Amino acid sequence: MVGGGITGLTAGYRLAVDHPEIDVTVLEASNRPGGYLRTGPLDDPMLDGLPIDAGADAFLVRVPWALDLCVELGIDTELVSPSARKASLWLDDALWPIPSPNVLGVPLDPETVAPGLLAPADLERLAGDGVPDVPIGGTLDRALGTSGDLSVGAVIRACVGDRVFERLVDPLLGGINAGRADDLSCAVMAPQLLAPARSTEGLLAGLRRTAAVADPAAPVFHSPAAGMERIVDALVAVLGDRLRTGSPVTRLDRAPDGDTSDRQVAGWVATTASGTYRADSVVLAVPAHVAATLVAPHSDDAGEVLTGWRHASVALATVAFDRADLEVPADQSGFLVGRATNQESSPLMTACSFAGSKWAHLDHPERIVLRVSCGRIDDKRPAGLTDDELVAALLADLATTLGVEAPPTAVRLERFPDSLVQYPVGHIDRITALDGLLADATPGLLVAGTVRNGVGIPACIRSGTEAAEAAVAAATR
Ligand SMILES: Cc1cc2nc3c(=O)[nH]c(=O)nc-3n(C[C@H](O)[C@H](O)[C@H](O)COP(=O)(O)OP(=O)(O)OC[C@H]3O[C@@H](n4cnc5c(N)ncnc54)[C@H](O)[C@@H]3O)c2cc1C
């Protein structure tokens, strides 16, 4: 495995557990495993070492892969769910409640939309079934097609209109990977919308039917109470010395004595600063640009495909305030910030999560802890600021949105350059094409992780699991 984030660790763990006869090594560039899963205390003695995530802070349970892994690792009893489930949206210089129930921002009941958030025509439309606009003289098929991928924007705009998309769906979905939902693949980012949008019953009717049989009290997210790094620690405990940190892979070569006469797999040699490693199969669980560099010498075409992946850079400031200086609603997990027409004068922050309202174990009697995000694919302002300038700008945004003027008791800033993949329409075909190129030119070399089916932790765990299976298949072919 190249890369010791959640994807590479999962792939290594799967092989170690399911195939103890196979030698597996996870090579991680940095001195700590986990990639974007990082948990640690803030520099505020009052918080007494409270574990607060610096990156991802929860995983979705609507899909099984992360929860299943926690069960298998025996840490499911440590999982907690957000106590506050409501959230708001900062739009037009005010906080608006996000209508609930909603699916990725699409309100299922127009009665729950705060007056003034949408226009009467939008509410009328939301009261209907969400059958797509039909072009004049056209048919339903011509509005959304019958198959293939579309952008999230195309689907939502056609079914429920532009304002619902711009004021609700884009802020919610864009919040997941800091992207523009007009450019994002619906098949990857919101597969649950595509089928009902294309059905004759309509998007809203389909979503309402699904919601009617779901348990509204069922948890949507989980996290270990000790923070997301607990999952990393549990995987690392099983991997033991199969994990080598401080081992950036700088090149991959075909093994010189690989016997290609009766086997497709020639074998690979990974070079790190501390030595070389030979393997029948290599899983690249690294960002696309790193995978591109390692693959390109063996397949120009695969390297070129991987070079084309676009990423958004984000930063996350964790900020603590004295409780006397700030009040946040206990029933709200936080708020998202919608995209403004004039970016220069709009807040830098894209979201603010109230850690103590969201997670009961982070609710501190003396402190309010906020996690403030910034950076979008089309907003590079944070990258142009020093850390001090960025923190100052985010504190100014908190003053505007929450009215807090007092200095924080602690601040921790983490930057995540080129971290969030943007999945264009047709991404799934792009992955199929990439797999084909790799199978032809570099048998035994596989790509896994966020390059494939989403940035979420469950998608990464699924990808790590599938990569482990594929690596065994490739090595024994
Ligand atoms: C700020 C932020 C908040 C997020 N919040 C959530 C959330 O709440 N819920 C959720 O589900 N998802 C969230 N995500 C997304 C999720 O955290 C990531 O998509 C996921 O952790 C990626 O895991 P990975 O293992 O595929 O990649 P990474 O975590 O990027 O791991 C790749 C690893 O490869 C290593 N590496 C790089 N180059 C080399 C090399 N040459 N040799 C060896 N090793 C190398 C890196 O050091 C790194 O450790 C968030 C992401 C960010 C940035």
Average pLDDT over residues 174-195: 91
User: Of 212, 232, 251, which marks where a domain is finished?
Assistant: 212
Q: What's the confidence (pLDDT) of residue 135? A: 52
The answer to whether 255 touches 267, Cβ cutoff 8 Å, is yes
Give the CATH number of the domain where residue 383 resides: 3.90.660.20
Rounded Cα distance between 200 and 460, Å, is 33
Q: 306 with 291: CB under 8 angstroms? A: yes
pLDDT above 90 for 72: yes
Q: Would 118 be classed as within a structural domain?
A: yes
Which residues have C-beta within 8 Å of that of residue 142, sequence separation ≥ 6?
A: 134, 135
Mark whether 265 and 388 lie in a shared domain: no
* Confidence band for 142, pLDDT divided at 50, 70 and 90: low
Quote the pLDDT of residue 144. Answer: 66
| Residue 263 binned pLDDT confidence (cut-offs 50, 70, 90) | very low
Paired with 317 in beta bridges are 372, 413
pLDDT of residue 430: 93
* Closest among 419, 446, 453 to 15, alpha carbons compared: 446
In a domain, 273, yes or no: yes
Q: Please say which residue of 155, 190, 212 terminates a domain.
A: 212
Residue among 457, 461, 463 to mutate when testing ligand 1 (max atoms within 8 A of CB) = 457
The protein residue with its alpha carbon nearest to ligand 1, atom 5, reads 56
Q: Is the dihedral of CA 2, 54, 460, 147 positive or negative?
A: negative
Distance between CA atoms of residues 330 and 77, nearest Å: 25
Compute φ and ψ for 90, nearest 5 degrees. -90, 115
What's the pLDDT at 262?
A: 45
Whether residue 70 contacts residue 231, with contact meaning beta carbons closer than 8 Å, is answered with: yes
The answer to whether residue 462 is domain-embedded is yes
Q: How confident is the model at residue 145 (pLDDT cuts 50, 70, 90)?
A: low
pLDDT of 15 above 50: yes
212 phi and psi, to 5 degrees? -65, -30
pLDDT of 136: 43
- In the listed set 156, 184, 212, which residue is the last one of a domain according to the structure? 212
Q: Does residue 244 lie within any of the structural domains?
A: yes
CA of 457 to the centre of ligand 1 (A): 9
Q: 123 and 194: one domain? A: yes
Q: What is the CATH number of the domain that holds 177?
A: 1.10.3110.10
Give the mean model confidence (pLDDT) for residues 92-103: 94
Find the 197 Cα to ligand 1 centroid distance in Å.
32
What is the structure's pLDDT at 266? Answer: 62
In a domain, 254, yes or no: yes
Domain match, 390 and 320 both: yes
Per the prediction, the chain carries an average pLDDT of 92
**Do residue 376 and residue 314 come from a single domain?**
yes
pTM across the whole model: 0.94
For residue 134, the model assigns a pLDDT of 64
Coil/strand/helix, residue 104: coil
Which of 286, 290, 295 has most ligand 1 atoms within 8 Å of CB, for mutation? 286
Same domain, 104 and 208: yes
Kindly state the average pLDDT of the residues 400-412: 97
Domain that holds residue 105: 98-212
Tell me: do 283 and 368 sit in the same domain. Answer: no
Is it the case that residue 406 has pLDDT exceeding 60? yes
CA separation, residue 185 to residues 141, 341, 422 (Å): 19, 23, 9
Read off the tokens for 425.
């329409």
Integer Cα distance of 451 and 306 in angstroms:
8
Strand pairing report for 410-422 and 445-447 = unpaired
- Does 232 share its domain with 192? no
SS3 354: strand
pLDDT reading at 401 higher than 80? yes
Residues 331 and 341 in one domain: yes
Contact 343/379 with Cβ under 8 angstroms? yes
DSSP state of 452: H
Q: How far apart are CA 7 and CA 13, in angstroms?
A: 10
Read off the tokens for 260.
Answer: 């290609």
Q: Which token pair is 331?
A: 């029933």
157/388 Cα distance (integer angstroms): 40
Domain presence at residue 440: yes
- The token pair at 79 is 């999982």
Tell me: the pLDDT tens digits for 199-224?
A: 889 999 999 999 998 888 888 899 99
Per the CB < 8 A criterion, the answer to whether 357 and 331 are in contact is yes
Tell me, yes or no, whether 291 and 326 share the same domain.
Answer: no
CA gap 47, 369 in Å, rounded: 10
| Count of CB atoms situated within 10 Å of the CB of 30 | 13
CA dist 205 and 171 (Å) reads 23
Q: Do 111 and 129 belong to one domain?
A: yes
CATH of the domain at 236: 3.50.50.60
Q: What's the rounded mean pLDDT across residues 439-464?
A: 94
Query: Tens of pLDDT along 314-372?
Result: 999 999 999 999 999 989 999 999 887 777 778 999 999 999 999 999 999 999 999 99
- Asked whether the bond before 329 is cis by omega within 30 degrees of 0, the reply is no
Same domain, 108 and 196: yes
Our CA angle for 236, 240, 243, nearest 5°, is 75
If asked whether residues 187 and 135 sit together in one domain, one would say: yes
**Total tally of structural domains belonging to the chain:** 3
Q: Please, are residues 339 and 93 in contact by the beta-carbon 8 Å criterion? A: no
Query: SS3 breakdown of the chain: % helix, strand, coil, rounded to 5?
Result: 40, 20, 35
Domain for residue 93, yes or no?
no
Token duo for residue 376: 């979008």
pLDDT greater than 70 at residue 167:
yes
pLDDT, residue 328, reads 93
Contact 417, 35 (CB under 8 A): no
Residue 83 lies in a domain: no
- pLDDT for res 344: 74
Ligand 1 centroid from CA 287, angstroms: 8
Q: What is the pLDDT of residue 217?
A: 82
Smallest CA separation from ligand 1 atom 34, residue: 3
State residue 47's pLDDT score: 95
**Residues at CB less than 6 angstroms from ligand 1:** 2-8, 27-30, 35-37, 55-59, 248-249, 285-287, 290, 314, 316, 416, 419-420, 449-450, 455-457, 460
